[in-house]
Structure 1
């Protein structure tokens, strides 16, 4: 399997995982998050698929702009997810997927001789890392609830996603 086919399989698996989790989710906000992540994986798939045709075009996402709103909605509803061990396992698995993806794209960018391809692979690697940040914050929110919301980390999630 070549790198492009590997990346396509990777993205398809991620999309499938997030869609499955969205169907299992009991909270609209969490369902929405998983659907956004699935959409991003599908978008990555479409970007990488075009590489086979020699087309190197980045397709933008709105996911990271929507995250502060999603977390604020969770905060404002005083949702208590603590004690949700099943959710923690789901988030942990998703974080592993994102780390593996991030590292794959980072390495692929280093190995690419095509500057446009390299640039897009680096962007995708950064997006996968932002997915990890979102999931880690959601994991902390699930573990700590209101205590996490009141911390400085919550108030800076938009900065984390912008890479500041």
Structure 2
């Protein structure tokens, strides 16, 4: 398996992971975020497949980060619901690790690229994966905020008690 085939498989695994998360999530905000991420990963796999087959491809930027930020606005219901699902934080941290692996792989491929078209492709994919990373980081942050609220000093035992 060459490195492009590895990257294609990695993107398809990412798509499956995000679709699986969307299937098990009852929250509409999270479901939408994971469906957006899955769609992006599928798009990345298609671009890489086209490159592998020496076909033309379009590096059309998506709006993942801005769509996710819009979903995170005004999510009081979301915060209340996720307080009850702290174990999911680990799933999102795994996704963060996978996105970081993608970024690292594409940075390696960028450093090995010999033509401008390949360089543009890997720069594009690096930015896409960084957007995914930022989106997941925001999700983890939101989850941590709900955990912090529950563990805040005003709700815990203090030395004055």
Shift of 1:56: 4.4
Q: Give the structure 2 partner of residue 3 of structure 1.
A: 3
Shift of 1:28: 0.4
Higher Cα Rg, which structure: 2
**What 5-or-longer segments of structure 1 have no aligned partner?**
149-164
Q: Give the structure 1 partner of residue 42 of structure 2.
A: 42
**Aligned pair count?**
147
Is the Cα contact below 8 Å between 2:107 and 2:126 reproduced in 1? yes
Whole-Å separation in 1 of the counterparts to 2:27 and 2:99 = 22
* Residues 85-104 of structure 1: per-residue CA shift (max 9 Å, x gap): 22101101100100000110
Q: Which moved more, 1:125-134 or 1:23-32?
A: 125-134
Is the Cα contact below 8 Å between 1:58 and 1:120 reproduced in 2? yes
Shift of 1:133: 1.2
1:76-155 matched pairs, under 5 angstroms: 77=77, 79-80=79-80, 81-145=82-146
Is the Cα contact below 8 Å between 1:11 and 1:41 reproduced in 2? yes
1:10-49 matched pairs, under 5 angstroms: 10-49=10-49
Is the Cα contact below 8 Å between 2:25 and 2:31 reproduced in 1? yes
